[in-house]
Structure 1
Amino acid sequence: MTEHKGPTYYNDVTKVVDYIIEAFDKKIAFGMPIALGKSYQIANEIYRRAKEDPEIDLTIITAISLEKPTWSNDLERRMLEPLRERVWKGIPDFGYMTDLRQGTLPPNVKMKEFYYKAGSVKNDPMAQQNHYSSNYTHVGRDIMNEDCNVLYCHSVAKKIIDGKVYYSDSCNADLSLDIKKFIPAAKASGRKFLHIGQVNNALPFMYGDAVVGEEDYDIILENPEYETPLFSVPKAPVTNADHMIGMHVSSLVKDGGSLQIGIGSLGDAIATALIMRHNANDDYNKALDVLEITSKYGPLVDRVGGRGTLDEGLYGTTEMLVDAFMELYKGGVIKRKVYGHIEIQKLVNEGVLSETLTRDSVKTLLSQDAFQPILKKPDFESLQKYGIFKAGLTWDDYAIVDGDVSYTCDFRDAANLDAILDNCIGEALENGVIAQGGFFIGPTQFYDDLRNMSEEERKQFEMTGVAVLNQLYGDEKLRTIQRKHARFVNAGMIVSIVGNIASDALENGTVISGVGGQYNFVSMAHAIDDARLIMMIRAVKETDKGPKSNVVFNYGYTTVPRHLKDIVVTEYGIADLRGKVDHEVVAALINVADSRFQDDLVEKAKKAKKLPPDYEIPQEFRNNYPEKLAAKLGTFRDMKKGYFDVFPFGCEFTEEEIIIGRSLREFKAKMDKEKIKTIMGLAKHMMGPVPDGAQPYLKRLQLDQPADFKEKLTRKVVSFALKEAGQV
């Protein structure tokens, strides 16, 4: 394969795939980024060729190939078909995923994935057998460790800057840096490697390490006909349990600190609680009192987090730049800027440097050992990048040149230093960032927000690799001081009472999602002196057999081992486990379990000699019931200020769709719990007329004028579900 000095350009995907197949002798490891950054056209064409030609040995290596929702019955079709057309219009399907779901993936095609949409492959043998259980920071290495030739293919945004073409990894800078690091060694060993980008200018052009020149690519595919809308991930409803977890977490966040959160209802719950804390602080503190967070955890909150407004603001440091960060930005919470320069960041942290520069603050900066006694060219250029020296100045032969005037870079000359401070310094710090992410995905509004920003505003949301974001290695001093008071907030499924947490798989090894970056953030939380790890666990899981506790005596799988325990938050409270001995850990976790399961946990702990024989749960933790939480949150919902809404930041569903979905879920839950009683109620409902109030919902489902008996029956079921849910 010929080495490319720059990319070869194509506008026809079939020719790109022709080249790949010939160059790789039909044995291909096809790497694509997680989620949004995949090329539909190249992925589908290379898979189509592999289906047609069994001599092609294709291994697809990726994570979360986005899929539009499908249906298994007529009622689901009526609900989802209009939604698919409205939300995902113009977005193709991945052929390999369609075949995977149907069990028709050909034998010459393998899929290896390091992360799944939660619960999406529980019953899929191929997915369960071909899962990379790897830290996110090791995924690039593992892709390059495949025993065949490798291509890495992703979608990019294109922009001409100062007459030169640049490409942005945009939504997926996460693995690019890692993979590039391994390319020279791979090529030196005789392996073939291709880096392919497909232009999709629906992607916002993001800055930071995401931006590279043409020379980074071997092939660029560009054809406006191939550009597609971005896959939207609609908002999930935020439950009472989610809101309670969000309130607890928000109280553990320190003003002027750093925040990492993930996608979904828990991230939204944290964001809405932090916005309430900052913009409605009196109501927030009333909520802390009513929800008993102040009475139970006041000293912990004051030591670790806070109850006041977030005046200095937070810096977002996260592998996944989720839309909750955009809401926090709009709400005035995400605003603390960090800088890629140790001396600058150190003085910013100390309060010596602020965004507005002064003569004295710059003098203190230039007195740092790194710039003494003579300022070198790389230091001058770095300081100029961040606004310390004004634009237009140049460095030449150990002098700072300003047109016809020059100043020696020898800072030992006090008069010369004074002249520099009087004539050369800028007005404000520049190129600070308020959030850094490795990849992003979210609802359509999130993409619109990014695209509609000015270039300068968007540059504050910097995209870089997980090798930078998910660890300290490589630039420990800078990353540590940037991430001061970091709160790394992650979700787990189950916690044992001694502190082991299962987040990605069941005890029989069934993979639910993947480790992703969770262990990376666990490590950082313990490596940074003022950081904390906050693991969120919903205390209860609703099953077909009734509620089940997620705080358990023991569990046969562990993602985060107990020796790395820190803070665990459930809807019922905060368990601060760091530095605690076993009986304290056990007691703290039982305190935040649902009270329906507490006595059993205490009994098992005593039998295992992990609690004293006379131990009793403190009375203030004996009232952990979901209905109690609902009543307390209801007090604030009644204020009609938008507190604790099911969709606090809006959603892509209509009001009718939200009500229909909620009513049908409640109906299914009743059928699971009280089948005979529910059937009897449905039978009685069948004999009466359809309530008038049900008509708008039936019209949405095209059941307002049923054409046959089946549709009439379905209409009755839906109207009964609406009636039982109190909607009609």
Structure 2
Amino acid sequence: MTRSVAAVEACVEQTLRRVGKRVRLGTPLGIGKANHLVNEFYRRAATDPSIELSIHTALSLGRPHASSELERRFVEPLADRLFRGYPELAWVKPRREGRLPDNIRVREFYFQPGSLMGSPRAQRNHVSSNYTHVVRDLLDQDINVIAQLVAADRSNGNGEAGLRYSLGSNPDLTVDIVPHLERRRKGGEEIAILGQVNSEMPFMYGDAVVEPSFFDGVVDDPAIDFPLFGAPNVPVSTADYMIALHVGTLIRDGGTLQIGIGSMGDAITRVLQLRHLENETFRQVVADTGIEERYGDLVSAIGGLAPFEEGLYASSEMLVDGFLELRRSGVLRRRVYDSVPLQRCLNEGLIGEAVSLEALDALVDEGVIEAELTEADVAFLERYGLLRSGTHLIDGKLVFIGGRSTPADLGNDVTRQFLRDHGLGDRLLGGHFAHACFFLGPRDFYQALRSMDPAERSGISMTGISFVNELYGREELKRLQRRHARFVNSGIIATLGGAMASDGLEDGRVVSGVGGQYNFVAMAHELDDGRSILMLTATDERDGSLTSNIRSTYGHVTIPRHLRDIVVTEYGIADIRGRSDEDVVTALLEIADSRFQDELLAEAKEARRVPASYEIPEHARHNRPDRLEDLLAPCRDRGLFQDFPFGTDLTEEELVLKDALTALKRLAGERTVPIPGLSELRGALRVPEEATPYLRRMELENPSGLNERLLQRAVVVGLTSVGAI
């Protein structure tokens, strides 16, 4: 029975009395953390060295922090506006600064990408694990407390009898691990499952819905409600859009889609909208960029250029805001059902979403139901909306609400006419256009979920990682649902052998984590018509140095070369599944940046991976960023392929300043922002008037003292370098 606890402190105190001072605390990835509860556990351990606290989680989100005075002036006002009211996780800053108490450990299987590269303690406590193996690993660590942010639904009346909870953004691991913990509880272990209600958390359906008895304690105090952490949209680059244009041709109508968060995900979403809503424009862009000419055979074989007549279904560990955009656009509309025979009939075109007597006949022909309906048949037909709600089988007759009845024999002409006139449903019920396990996104994404009609929101089935990220368990159903699956993920470094590094660097540092990428790549190989698409930009510019993201070899691998499939850069598609090593090398050379092709080719020849006579084809010898800019320029003149296709939380001044500060770092060739010398200052005695709004935002309009004047001039240098003034 759930104990509703008024105060966070009381809930934690009761839990400590229950489980003792050896606390193994699990709290979800991303926004599903019960911030007040986990922070109180941290506070208790920080003030009481006798408490041994291990926090097991992933993606501990925090406000951005600045590494220089100019960055501070830019970041702090922005963070105050975007994250006002968000309670920081107690361990984020101490861990970053190396000040975690000795009795507290924080173990994460996924980092906010790049955020902890400079934290030795965080790196040492990273747990490298496939998403589908995290529950096993948590159980091995003897997790005894779960603390999760939840949504509450009291629409069915007051009191516990009318109360339901939803695991909201994060049923991902909770629904999988709690049954194991309950078995341990029955074996005598002390376990505590805790919830913290937050009115900002959308009430999500599917396996996320749980009864009050699911929890041992729930803190439900509106005074501590807080805004969910909103991840701002990031700008979409030309390279992102070019990658997305290639990917957009590989998505099969009537298929399944998995994508991630970030600029590439936004670019894919916008391209798929273009394909569906402005198909003539989409086809023209695909032709003008040479994609159709170069990859037409592959597109015809596994993808398409036409609008989405049947639509797509999303099966993705992460529900990204792009899926809602695709839903609004009419792209994400293929529904799947949790019945093998029903899904098979849908896949084979024997029935459709609209209910008809012919659909019932098809189900009889396929042996799904009997012509003389049984009680199980009637329950099946009513559950999925083929018969009207409230239909019962009584003494061989179908009895409907209101008392009207007819023989339960589909071969009876009277019954058939009655069903046509009165007994059939309108459309199939219980289908889902998306299965997902967690979500994270910008603030308006959460608002959109909260404001959705519950019937529409229930089309998103939030469930456990064990369902979405693997085929094991209900495999026949999953194979039917996930037809023509395209699992689209991103990488950091690809090798000429077809391997991909996506989570870390060859020096051993972890950038993010494996997450579910390996799961989806492996699943694509197991599905008869599935494909894995791994995307990466061809180059990376860092600290003033440009490097190729396609290498001959690399000392770290996330996806091994024997799982190679499709690799996409802004310069093209390498279809390398089942290809010889030589073919793989040449395909990847053709989508590398031309500034690095000669070096890569020489290394491949030296290693005898290609014949000494091989030369990269002429059509692939012009892979340069300026050519891509020229290709997309006419599109941008028509309003296509904007930096923020779905809006941004940044002001116009902040967008310009962001580019200016980035340019300063690039000019300096180092991570710190450069300050102009005195000779440069003498040449810039007057600050241009058009710089005023930017300097005002940076609180440098009227500088005080030499240091602020130097900072002011640095901003002017940056603004000038990006053409803002």
- Range class of TM-score, shorter chain: over 0.9
Q: 1:700 aligns with which of 683, 697, 702?
A: 697
Q: Letter of the aligned partner of 2:185 in structure 1?
A: K
- Which residue does the alignment assign to 1:3? none
Structure 1 residue 301 and structure 2 residue 323: aligned?
A: no
Structure 1 residue 153 and structure 2 residue 150: aligned?
A: no
TM-score normalised over the length of structure 1:
0.95
- Which residue does the alignment assign to 1:245? 243
Structure 1: how far apart are the matches of 2:364 and 2:509? 57
- Which residue does the alignment assign to 2:234? 236
The alpha-carbon distance between structure 1 residues 388 and 78, as it changes in their structure 2 partners (threshold 3 A), is same
State the Cα deviation string for residues 526-576 of structure 1 (Å, max 9, x = none).
Answer: 111111100001110112252101110011111111111110001110000
Structure 2: how far apart are the matches of 1:121 and 1:130? 11
Structure 2: how far apart are the matches of 1:88 and 1:545? 31
The alpha-carbon distance between structure 1 residues 366 and 218, as it changes in their structure 2 partners (threshold 3 A), is farther
1:82-481 correspondence runs (5 A)? 82-147=77-142, 150-163=144-157, 164-372=162-370, 375-396=373-394, 400-402=398-400, 403-406=402-405, 423-481=422-480
Q: Letter of the aligned partner of 1:69 in structure 2?
A: P
Q: 1:24 aligns with which of 19, 27, 33?
A: 19
Give 1:441 deviation, angstroms.
Answer: 0.8
State the Cα deviation string for residues 154-177 of structure 1 (Å, max 9, x = none).
Answer: 011000254421111111111122
The alpha-carbon distance between structure 1 residues 554 and 52, as it changes in their structure 2 partners (threshold 3 A), is same
Structure 1 residue 549 and structure 2 residue 542: aligned?
A: no
Structure 1 residue 12 and structure 2 residue 7: aligned?
A: yes
Structure 1 residue 49 and structure 2 residue 47: aligned?
A: no
Give 1:299 deviation, angstroms.
Answer: 1.1
Structure 2: how far apart are the matches of 1:374 and 1:471? 38
Q: Letter of the aligned partner of 1:150 in structure 2?
A: N
State the Cα deviation string for residues 257-279 of structure 1 (Å, max 9, x = none).
Answer: 11100000010011111111111
1:115/1:513 contact within 8 Å kept = yes
State the Cα deviation string for residues 187-216 of structure 1 (Å, max 9, x = none).
Answer: 244322211111101111111111111111
Q: Letter of the aligned partner of 1:111 in structure 2?
A: V
Q: Secondary structure at the residue paired with 1:106?
A: coil
Structure 1 residue 604 and structure 2 residue 603: aligned?
A: yes
Give 1:408 deviation, angstroms.
Answer: 5.8
Give 1:359 deviation, angstroms.
Answer: 1.3
Q: Secondary structure at the residue paired with 2:714?
A: helix
Structure 1: how far apart are the matches of 2:362 and 2:531? 32
The alpha-carbon distance between structure 1 residues 162 and 343, as it changes in their structure 2 partners (threshold 3 A), is farther
State the Cα deviation string for residues 56-91 of structure 1 (Å, max 9, x = none).
Answer: 011100001110112233222221222122111111
Q: Letter of the aligned partner of 2:153 in structure 1?
A: K
- Which residue does the alignment assign to 1:628? 627
The alpha-carbon distance between structure 1 residues 396 and 126, as it changes in their structure 2 partners (threshold 3 A), is farther
Report % sequence identity.
41
Q: 1:650 aligns with which of 647, 652, 655?
A: 647
Give 1:394 deviation, angstroms.
Answer: 2.5
Q: What 5-or-longer segments of structure 1 have no aligned partner?
A: 1-5
Q: Letter of the aligned partner of 2:663 in structure 1?
A: E
State the Cα deviation string for residues 493-528 of structure 1 (Å, max 9, x = none).
Answer: 111101111111112322111111111101211111
Structure 1 residue 524 and structure 2 residue 523: aligned?
A: yes
1:499/1:565 contact within 8 Å kept = yes
Count of matched residue pairs: 720
Structure 2: how far apart are the matches of 1:716 and 1:504? 39
Q: Secondary structure at the residue paired with 1:295?
A: helix
Q: Letter of the aligned partner of 1:87 in structure 2?
A: L
Q: Secondary structure at the residue paired with 1:615?
A: coil
Structure 1: how far apart are the matches of 2:523 and 2:150? 30
1:17/1:46 contact within 8 Å kept = yes
State the Cα deviation string for residues 124-168 of structure 1 (Å, max 9, x = none).
Answer: 222222222111111122112214x51111011000254421111
- Which residue does the alignment assign to 1:566? 565
Structure 1: how far apart are the matches of 2:287 and 2:675? 39
Q: Secondary structure at the residue paired with 2:368?
A: helix
1:72-83 correspondence runs (5 A)? 72-83=67-78
Structure 1: how far apart are the matches of 2:281 and 2:551? 35
Structure 2: how far apart are the matches of 1:257 and 1:681? 62
2:357/2:416 contact within 8 Å kept = no
Q: Letter of the aligned partner of 1:649 in structure 2?
A: F
2:488/2:535 contact within 8 Å kept = yes
Q: Which moved more, 1:240-249 or 1:599-608?
A: 599-608
Q: Letter of the aligned partner of 2:711 in structure 1?
A: T
Q: Secondary structure at the residue paired with 1:439?
A: strand
The alpha-carbon distance between structure 1 residues 595 and 395, as it changes in their structure 2 partners (threshold 3 A), is same
Structure 1: how far apart are the matches of 2:204 and 2:3? 23
Q: Letter of the aligned partner of 1:645 in structure 2?
A: Q
State the Cα deviation string for residues 648-694 of structure 1 (Å, max 9, x = none).
Answer: 11111001000010111112112219999996898167533111111
Give 1:387 deviation, angstroms.
Answer: 0.8
Q: Which moved more, 1:712-721 or 1:418-427?
A: 418-427
Q: Which moved more, 1:664-673 or 1:217-226?
A: 664-673
The alpha-carbon distance between structure 1 residues 373 and 279, as it changes in their structure 2 partners (threshold 3 A), is closer
Structure 2: how far apart are the matches of 1:476 and 1:682? 71
Structure 1: how far apart are the matches of 2:44 and 2:621? 62
State the Cα deviation string for residues 454-497 of structure 1 (Å, max 9, x = none).
Answer: 11121122211111111121111221111111110011111110
Structure 2: how far apart are the matches of 1:515 and 1:713? 43
The alpha-carbon distance between structure 1 residues 597 and 235, as it changes in their structure 2 partners (threshold 3 A), is same
State the Cα deviation string for residues 607-647 of structure 1 (Å, max 9, x = none).
Answer: 222111110101000111111111111121112x2x11111
Q: Which moved more, 1:432-441 or 1:370-379?
A: 370-379
Q: Which moved more, 1:10-19 or 1:409-418?
A: 409-418
Structure 2: how far apart are the matches of 1:377 and 1:74? 73
Structure 2: how far apart are the matches of 1:198 and 1:632? 51
Q: 2:660 aligns with which of 660, 663, 670?
A: 663
The alpha-carbon distance between structure 1 residues 150 and 398, as it changes in their structure 2 partners (threshold 3 A), is farther
The alpha-carbon distance between structure 1 residues 478 and 408, as it changes in their structure 2 partners (threshold 3 A), is farther
Structure 1 residue 508 and structure 2 residue 503: aligned?
A: no
Q: Letter of the aligned partner of 1:202 in structure 2?
A: E
Structure 1: how far apart are the matches of 2:259 and 2:608? 36
Q: Which moved more, 1:651-660 or 1:519-528?
A: 519-528
- Which residue does the alignment assign to 2:495? 496
Q: Tell me how large the CA RMSD over aligned residues is.
A: 2.2
Structure 2: how far apart are the matches of 1:327 and 1:335? 12
Structure 1: how far apart are the matches of 2:561 and 2:155? 50
1:342/1:477 contact within 8 Å kept = yes
TM-score normalised over the length of structure 2:
0.95
Q: Letter of the aligned partner of 1:320 in structure 2?
A: M
The alpha-carbon distance between structure 1 residues 195 and 258, as it changes in their structure 2 partners (threshold 3 A), is same
State the Cα deviation string for residues 98-134 of structure 1 (Å, max 9, x = none).
Answer: 2112211111111111111111122222222222211
Structure 2: how far apart are the matches of 1:498 and 1:379? 54
Q: Which moved more, 1:91-100 or 1:363-372?
A: 363-372
2:665/2:671 contact within 8 Å kept = no
